[in-house]
């Protein structure tokens, strides 16, 4: 929050300084469109970093579905601090609510199939932890946090290593205890990953019929791999993909094709006595 505020406030809020230091105010934040509310801890942290005396009162729970024109939260206290924190707090709330709203729609689309929605590393720079939190709040599942907590062997890794088997062998020789996933782009590559003993396979841009075939091949194996479908999946097509029997569907759209929720803060100056 200090970094986010520094980006906006810098050496000081020159406009807020026009307001008398003793002035007090209250402000309500409402949403102009339906959304999944997410980002309350970030919103709170902005104002607490600026002024511990600011009071924050929420009217909707984290992860709740809210309607257009619902009042989400009220803040009250020193007017300068409320004015200074407004933009940073709203930016975070609208971004994380937008992420959660998109993720929730995908979760709803695959409900009852047994398939789960995964996020990716295609996040806004500096906000990965926050966006992955929003994905989880929406009921979807986090993939790896970064390059340090799982191994995902992709096309360029395979080219550099020489083959899927060689890349997998190198991963095993490292003695890593994390799961090893291989991205494959054809049924032939999938069978190579299956034979080489990968823990997971990312089926990239597979046709519907090839997804079905991969699921059947995998089920015929004694200890089947976890299957993740990805590439070109939309809200309109995601259920059909889920019904092929894959375990996960990953989509970068929930974090990178972001529609920030339209929020508004209504400010009221307290009566002077």
pLDDT at 272: 57
pLDDT at 208: 97
- Predicted TM-score (pTM) of the model is 0.93
Residue in 181, 204, 228, 247 annotated catalytic? 204
Report whether 196 contacts 158 (CB < 8 A). no
pLDDT at 221: 85
pLDDT averaged per 10 residues, the chain (length 273) = 90 92 96 98 97 96 98 97 97 98 98 98 95 98 93 93 92 81 96 93 97 96 91 96 98 95 95 58
Tokens at residue 67, please? 């309607």
Give the Cα separation of 195 and 48 in Å (integer): 55
Query: Is 183 annotated in the active site?
Result: yes
Contacts (Cβ under 8 Å, ≥6 apart) of 72: 29, 30, 31, 37, 58, 59, 60, 66, 93, 263
pLDDT at 1: 82
Query: Is 154 annotated in the active site?
Result: yes
Query: Is 181 annotated in the active site?
Result: no
pLDDT at 175: 67
Contacts (Cβ under 8 Å, ≥6 apart) of 132: 119, 123, 142, 145, 255
Residue in 87, 105, 121, 239 annotated catalytic? 87
pLDDT at 222: 79
Residue in 48, 74, 121, 122 annotated catalytic? 122
Query: Is 179 annotated in the active site?
Result: no
Strands of the chain (E only): list them: 24-31, 35-36, 55-58, 65-66, 71-78, 116-118, 151-153, 180-184, 200-204, 226-230, 248-250, 263-269
pLDDT at 3: 87
């Amino acid at each position: 929050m200090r970094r986010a505020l520094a980006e906006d406030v810098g050496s000081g809020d020159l406009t807020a300084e026009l307001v008398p230091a003793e002035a007090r105010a209250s402000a309500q934040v409402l949403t102009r469109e339906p959304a999944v509310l997410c980002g309350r801890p970030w919103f709170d942290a902005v104002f607490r970093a600026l002024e511990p005396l600011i009071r924050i009162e929420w009217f909707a729970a984290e992860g709740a579905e809210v309607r257009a024109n619902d009042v989400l939260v009220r803040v009250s206290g020193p007017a300068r601090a409320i004015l200074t924190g407004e933009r940073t707090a709203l930016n975070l709330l609208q971004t994380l609510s937008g992420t959660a709203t998109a993720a929730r729609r995908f979760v709803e689309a695959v409900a009852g199939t047994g398939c789960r929605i995964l996020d990716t590393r295609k996040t806004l720079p500096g906000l990965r932890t926050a966006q992955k939190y929003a994905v989880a709040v929406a009921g979807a599942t986090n993939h790896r946090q970064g390059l340090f907590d799982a191994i995902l062997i992709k096309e360029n890794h395979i080219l550099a290593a020489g083959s899927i088997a060689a890349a997998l062998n190198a991963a095993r020789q490292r003695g890593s205890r994390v799961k090893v996933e291989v991205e494959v782009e054809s049924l032939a590559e999938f069978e190579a990953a299956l034979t080489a003993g990968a823990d997971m396979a990312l089926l990239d841009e597979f046709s519907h019929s090839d997804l079905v075939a991969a699921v059947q091949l995998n089920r015929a194996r004694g200890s089947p791999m976890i299957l993740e479908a990805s590439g070109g999946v939309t809200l309109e097509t995601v259920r059909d993909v889920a019904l092929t029997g894959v375990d996960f569907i990953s989509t970068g759209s929930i974090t990178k094709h972001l529609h920030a929720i339209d929020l508004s803060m209504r400010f009221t100056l307290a009566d002077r006595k």
